[in-house]
Amino acid sequence: MTIDLDALDRALDALPNLFRGPGGVAGVVKDGQVVASRAWGYADLARRRPMETGTRLPICSISKQFTCGVLLDMLGDTAAHDARVAEFLPQFEGPLPTLRQLCDNQSGLRDYWALTVLQGAEATQTFRREDALPLIARMKTGHFPPGTAYSYCNCNFRIVSEILESETGRALPDLYAERIFGPAGMRTAELTANTRHPADEVVGYEGTDAVGFFPADNGIFWIGDAGISASLQDMLAYESWIDATREDAGSIYRRISVPPAYACGTPASYGFGLSHETVAGVKVTGHGGALRGFRAQRFHAASARLSVVVIFNHEASAHAAASSLLAAALGHEAPKGARPEGWAGQWLDPESGLLLRVEEDAAGLTLRFATGADRLTLGEDGVPRGAGVSLAREGAALVMNRPSDNLTVRAEPLPAVSVADAGEIAGRYHARELEADLVIEARDGGAYVGFEGLLGAGPMERLHPVGPDVWIVTTRRSMDAPAPGDWTLQVRREGGAVAGLSLGCWLARRIDYARV
């Protein structure tokens, strides 16, 4: 398959203006050869240090596939080590996930970075290596039985890395270097688990083109789920290595990119740290990455022997940027959707306890349910569809189908309210699941909630009514990125009196709080 190099060049030229921020890098590999490599802007605006193709940047969650690759390369049959999972979940009350289900994000566990918010963490405080396992060990229940559905969860890979280091008796940085970095020719890649000290002193920036950019302050220690820093040169070498080993059934990337499935046999969209999706009309494997001030995305289209890498030191969408490069190279034009009518509104999912909101504009729909908003367009058949999601209506109910998550939701309409008295829900609540508290304060029409737990007493977050006994807690900044966003808070009553709350977001659903 040939690609349009002229169109690709034009798309690369457009990136700095379309995805505005301090700097970035992008590159493309075709048939194992680097056909494009760009760096623009600055790695540090204050010091006027230019961004270069050799500047190392955090690739964040793209690291997950490296962890899974080393796991398979070193331990082989993951089932032989499933019993080790129980050591990290001593209070868990249901069936435990297998090591493979951890690698495939099918564990059902709540994400530990989302839970840091509920444990009282501030966005910029230090989170040490030794802080993670006690937080994980408090988990008692999950979203769903392991193997039945998908839920993105960073602590899956933290547990995997702990087992890997324990079973091999070796440090993860050494395993990365020996098994992947060295063979792939990633000369400068390394594990930089402490985000307080980024490689090459690169600066990541929060903010937008509208409000300006300011340096991001990160203090988390992550390993297994993220932590690798690599230059564009390193990442393009990785993509070339993938192509060079494409015919070797025993190669690391061939093994981690096998099509995943759920326990029932239904095809899944995520396995061994790789997302399986269709972008620009072709099937790709890849992953995104995010830390406050940084965004990254890589795609590999095996059928076209084509790979794309984009990394920003700001928070524009690297996924959208990488998608635009794939589309340009392949000459793909996205179909234009019809103007939607009658889809806007809000619904409540009784199973997850989460709010679904749909907004309309001339080009399509925006669905707010998961961590990030889904963009949907209306097809000729009148069905709104997006990446891995579609909507339908059954009377007043909204049906959301997410086949990649093995999930179908039938949500009931929620009448909207804009004003509600938070006085009757003000007070302290305790979550047995987390062994942590939340406090609601209300005065003069304003309502706020603060979380207290293992990591301290966090900042007060805004609390807004959206429906009868349903509120939204907004978390826009947290230790990990993107932040959990909106939490749905439902009031639980007994005999008309407030007895407790149910709180959740896509990464950490249905946490019960009892009134103290």
With H, G, I as helix, E, B as strand and everything else as coil, classify residue 156. Answer: helix
30 is catalytic: no
Phi then psi for 226, rounded to 5 degrees? -165, -170
Question: 3-state secondary structure string, 437-453?
Answer: EEEEEEECCEEEEEEEE
Phi then psi for 327, rounded to 5 degrees? -60, -40
With H, G, I as helix, E, B as strand and everything else as coil, classify residue 512. Answer: strand
Whether the Cβ atoms of residue 451 and residue 399 lie closer than 8 Å to each other: no
Q: Annotated catalytic residue: which of 30, 63, 64, 352?
A: 64
How far is 345 from 503, CA to CA, in rounded Å? 21
Q: Annotated catalytic residue: which of 61, 229, 269, 323?
A: 61
61 is catalytic: yes
How far is 48 from 500, CA to CA, in rounded Å? 53
Which of these, 275, 231, 355, lies nearest to 105 by C-alpha position? 275
Query: What pairing do the DSSP bridges indicate for beta strands 364-368 and 374-378?
Result: antiparallel
Whether the Cβ atoms of residue 388 and residue 284 lie closer than 8 Å to each other: no
How far is 121 from 192, CA to CA, in rounded Å? 22
Report the DSSP beta bridge partners of residue 451. Answer: 438
What is the DSSP track for 69-93?
HHHHHHH--GGGGGGGGGGG-TT--
The beta-carbon contacts of 409-413 under 8 Å, at least 24 apart in sequence, are 409/349, 409/351, 409/352, 409/356, 410/349, 411/347, 411/348, 411/349, 411/350, 411/356, 412/347, 412/348, 412/350, 413/345, 413/346, 413/347
Question: 3-state secondary structure string, 330-369?
Answer: HCCCCCCCECCCCCCEEEECCCCCCEEEEEEECCEEEEEC
Question: In the numeric block, which tokens belong to residue 119?
Answer: 């444990």
How far is 306 from 44, CA to CA, in rounded Å? 31
What is the DSSP track for 396-409?
TEEEEEEGGGTEEE
Question: In the numeric block, which tokens belong to residue 321?
Answer: 């940027």
Whether the Cβ atoms of residue 115 and residue 508 lie closer than 8 Å to each other: yes
Q: Which residues are catalytic?
A: 61, 64
